[in-house]
Amino acid sequence: MQAQPGQPLPSGFLTSPQLRFYAVGDIHGRLDLLEKVNARIETDLKRRPCWRSVRVFLGDHVDRGPHSREVLDYLMALEGTCDTVFILGNHETILTDFIQDPTVLPTWLSVGGLETLISYGIRPPRNPSPADQSRLAAEFAEALPVSHLNFIRNLRPCFAFDDVFFVHAGVRPGVPLSKQSLTDLCWIRDDFLLHDGLFERLVIHGHTPVRTPEIRPNRINIDTGAYATGQLTCMWIEGGRMGFL
């Protein structure tokens, strides 16, 4: 008998044998790595065919890396060719906030928004004045295709299936998974990361970079800081087992 691939999910969490998930960590504007990860998924599907597969992208598709615009184009095209779930990250919330509120610009620039603006053909001055902020917000709203805005607005705050819960940042301990705030799902760090107890489901998340994927009894972090490290992590989950591509 052939050994089963991968390893069991921690803490006895289970998922259907009929469905394979591929979860991809924070892309942050690295189209090159996204293309490679998708090629690895295609190869895996050929090597180990399955009844149905779903690719789950854990948010922070934009900022920091050089190709935010191209990453969104790529993900939108992918949506038409296979089953996908796209999760909302805090960087996507900052992007849409900026269109509503130009004073968000300095915050956005401090977390890699400059690269996103440049990918849409906008070059902010070095120290944007309030007038510059308003002008740039209007320019960006004009440059951002409606399809991109709709894609970002339709990102899911989280996605639960069987015993797994996909989310960008994490969840607040003590609050049922169905009652989590959008702010916590997109932004939470230590209150979640330092919590040892189990949640109702196994939480698969990104948001806080780690050198190698972090497998804990209650959560798995697959944000390996792709924009800086060149490591974009993809994990698979199927029939209560998991592994990495």
Which of residues 66 and 209 has its CB atom nearest to Mn ion in the complex?
209
Q: Which of 155, 183, 185, 159 is nearest to 170 (CA)?
A: 185
- DSSP 3-state of 105: helix
Q: Which of 80, 144, 86 is nearest to 116 (CA)?
A: 144
Which of residues 44 and 60 has its CB atom nearest to Mn ion in the complex?
60
Contact region with Mn ion (CB under 5 A), list: 67-75, 83-91, 106-114, 147-155: 83-91
Q: Give the Cα separation of 240 and 129 in Å (integer).
A: 53
Which of residues 148 and 205 has its CB atom nearest to Mn ion in the complex?
205
> In the bound complex, which residue of the shown chain has the CB atom lying closest to Mn ion?
207
Shortest separation between residue 224's beta carbon and Mn ion, angstroms: 13
Contact positions with Mn ion (CB under 5 A) in 199-218: 207
Q: Which token pair is 225?
A: 């800081």
Given 90, 116, 119, 221, the residue binding Mn ion (CB under 5 A): 90
Per CB under 5 A, does 238 bind Mn ion? no
- Is the separation of the CB atoms in 5 and 241 below 8 Å? yes
Q: Which of 179, 183, 188 is nearest to 219 (CA)?
A: 188
CA dist 138 → 128, 159, 166 (Å): 14, 33, 34
Shortest separation between residue 6's beta carbon and Mn ion, angstroms: 26
Given 60, 63, 115, 238, the residue binding Mn ion (CB under 5 A): 60
Contact region with Mn ion (CB under 5 A), list: 73-81, 87-95, 105-113, 192-200: 87-95
Binding site for Mn ion (CB under 5 A): 60, 89-90, 207
